[in-house]
Every structure is written in structure tokens, then in C-alpha cells.
Amino acid sequence: MNAKSVLVTGGCGFIGSHLVDALIESGSDVTVLDNLSSSTLEYLRPHVEVGKLRFVKGDIRDFNVVSRLCSGKDVVFHFAAQPDVRLSLTQPLIDFDINVRGTLNVLESMRRNAVPLFVFASTSTVYGQASVIPTPETYPIDPISNYGATKSACEVYMMSFSSCYKMSCVSLRYANIIGFRSDHGVVHDFFLKIRKDPKRLEILGDGKQMKSYLYITDCIEASLLATEKHTAEGFTAFNIGSSEQLEVNEIASIVTNTLGISEIEFTYTGGKKGWIGDVTEMLLDTTKIRRLGWKPRVDVRQGIKQYLAWLKQRYDKKKN
């Protein structure tokens, strides 16, 4: 991406920290806003220490802070969020407050500071349990979880702001992103469960859920390409994912085989869904981003193995 003055909210998180790395590499002047509620400065500290990054500890719900940081920016990458689908079920007001009110704060701060481009970390869950597989960007928004509802609401505000105020808004609808620095998701959960009990692995639901996964480096390449290519006013969405589905049972087998565990019992909680709001089948149609010249470089199964190697090294280090 061409060098710009950029604000990244949630820049200390999994996807956000990788994005920040890439933006700094491109020569951009980067400011990160993060409240560190679910992340640390660990991955970005080297940039801060050499003066390549300005870090501000703060909350996207604090309008004054967000507005001040939007001043003079060319782009805002909004990656701060409450990301847990299951938490959104038990704490819907907190989910709304962070995801919707926080996003509206960012959009309004941009409007008042005349920031022209907004890039949003959205999710495949805005489609809900889609009847069209692979699912294109033209498929109606139809979430089945509170988390998906908040992301959908954010996209609707993006549409209205782009129409009313001539703002450019890009929504990146991510599949399940995996890779180093991630501390959540099915691979991470399986890894921790096996470390606790290598004889038994509990799988949520029936293990037959079919979903799409993408390695983090491919995710960042696609995200930056979509940002670069969208220069016109208005709203647009890009599906970001692989063209292949994996069954949860297969992921369990990949994890156990990679960790060298041959005798383990798979048990199931039962039912098709792992939790309320779980989308049991997801595959994104990525024709739109591929037409810009992007395609994944990392095979998903190989990506899982690379991620597991990082997890093992990280947790072994903690143990010692």
C-alpha cells in the first residue's frame, strides 16, 4: 500500500498486529488505538521502541480520543471489536456497545475530520446460515448470532455514511482466519484441550460443521489489495477466505496427527451446532477479490500445521 497516515483501531490484536506490520513495511505513518482488554503490546513493542509506531491506549467508545486520533489521517482501519460469538449471546448489551456504538464513534470522528477511507474488519457471520454456497457478497445480510447482528449493523452504518457524506467504506468479510499470534478459534481450542488431556478431545456439536479457513499472511495480502483498489466513493464489501471447506472432524485429525498423538478418543457435545449462533456451513465466494489478482499462497492444511508449531513453541516457552 502506498505510504499514508493511518489509524488502526485494535491494532494489537491478532489480525490487527499483522496489518500494522505490513503497513509499517509499506512506509505508512501508523497510529494504533487499543485498550488492551484482550491483547497486549507484545507484538508491536519493537515498532514502538524504534519510533516507527505511535501507540495510544484507549477505547473506541471514547469519542474525544477517537476524534483526536482521526485528525490528519488518510485511512482508518477499524479492527477493534468484541469478537466472541458466544459472549455476544450472554452479554448482548456489551457486544452492542463495543461493536456498534464504538464503530459509530469511529465513523463520526472520521466525518468531522474529513477522513476519506474507512476499512472495516467484518465477518462471514453477517450472512448467517446462507442457502447459497459459496456465498457471494450480493447475498442478503441475515445473521443468526448477536455478534453477526452487530457486524451487520456496522455495515449498514457504513452504507449510510458513504451515501450521506461521500465517504469510501470497505468491508472485509473474513472467513475463519488462522495463524501465529491467534489466541482463539477451533485449532487453538483443540490444542489447549489436548495439552490438558491427550487421551480425550471434546468436539462441540457433531464435528460435521463445514467451514472455510484462511492463513493470516494471505488474509493481510487480500485486505491491503482490497483497500488499494477501492478508491471511489461509496460502500463495497469483499469476501476474504479460501475456496475450500474443512470439516471440524478433519481439523481435529490434523491437530492430533501433527502433535503426534495416535491414541485419542473424540467425544461430542451433540447437535449440529457447537453453540447457539454457530453457522454449521460456510464457504465464501471470493471471485471478487481474486479478480484483483489475489489468490491464497498457503494451503489451509499446511497453515494449520504452521500455526500448531507456533502454538507449541509458545506454550512450551511459557511452561519453562
The catalytic site residues sit at 147
- Sequence-distant (≥ 6) Cβ neighbours of residue 137 within 8 angstroms: 173, 237, 238, 239, 285, 288
Cα–Cα distance measured from residue 291 to residue 286, given in angstroms and rounded to the nearest whole number: 9
CA 23 to centroid of chain Cα atoms:
17
Cis peptide before 134 (omega within 30 of 0): yes
| 74 exposure class (CB count in 10 Å sphere: 0-12, 13-18, 19+) | middle
Residues 6 or more apart whose CB falls under 8 angstroms from that of 60 comprise 9, 10, 33, 35, 66, 78, 80, 98, 102, 103, 105, 106
Classify strands 5-9 and 29-34 as parallel, antiparallel or unpaired: parallel
Decide if 216 contacts 178 (C-beta within 8 A): yes
Cβ density class 89-119: b for 16+ within 10 Å, e for less: eeeeeebbebbbebbbbbbbbbbebebebbb
* Nearest C-alpha neighbor of 11 from the set 27, 108, 29, 35: 35
CA distance 214 to 252: 17
